[in-house]
Amino acid sequence: MLFGLLFLSEYIFLEPYLIGHIAPGMELGFTLIVILTMLSAVVIPMNIYRINILKKSKRKVTGSVFGSFVGSVAGVCSCGPIGFAVFSTFGSVGATGLAFLTNYELPIRIAAIALLAVTYFTTVKSLKIECKII
């Protein structure tokens, strides 16, 4: 996920050879992507484990699985070269959506990090309750 987000946000380039570049003023976006992928790497396996445990019990899965999915997907905001394909495919609707995502890229990523942090703490709390060692 880290490599994909960095490639789509144009921090990693593959031509003419593999190179990484953080432009001046883009450090915050890079940091948010790294934090987002680290939280996703922790939260998604925890929720998969929790789903496997809950299959055996009679309790239902709460919104933490949905939160981890939304949080990890929301990190892909301005898609760089893919944005032009969206613009040409969907016309003015695609342009409006791309402009919205480009303008609010950092707040969306911060909201995704906050959502993943809340999901992490609720998942840890539920795992403490459901996984008591007797």
Rounded-to-integer distance, Cα 71 and Cα 116, Å = 6
CA distances from residue 45 to 14, 39, 53, 63, 113 in whole angstroms, order as listed: 29, 10, 12, 15, 16
pTM for this entry: 0.71
Tens-of-pLDDT digits for all 134 residues of the chain? 788 778 877 788 888 888 888 888 888 888 888 898 888 888 888 888 888 877 766 555 555 556 555 555 555 554 555 555 656 677 777 677 667 777 777 888 888 888 888 888 988 888 887 766 65
Instruction: Confirm if 73 and 62 have CB atoms less than 8 A apart.
Output: no
Q: Domain count of the chain?
A: 1
**DSSP letter, residue 13:** E
Q: How far apart are the C-alpha atoms of 29 and 105, rounded to whole Å?
A: 8
Q: Where in the sequence is the domain holding 51, given as residue range(s)?
A: 2-130
| Radius of gyration in angstroms for the set of CA atoms belonging to the chain, rounded to a whole number | 18
The Cβ of residue 33 has, within 10 Å, a number of other Cβ atoms equal to 22
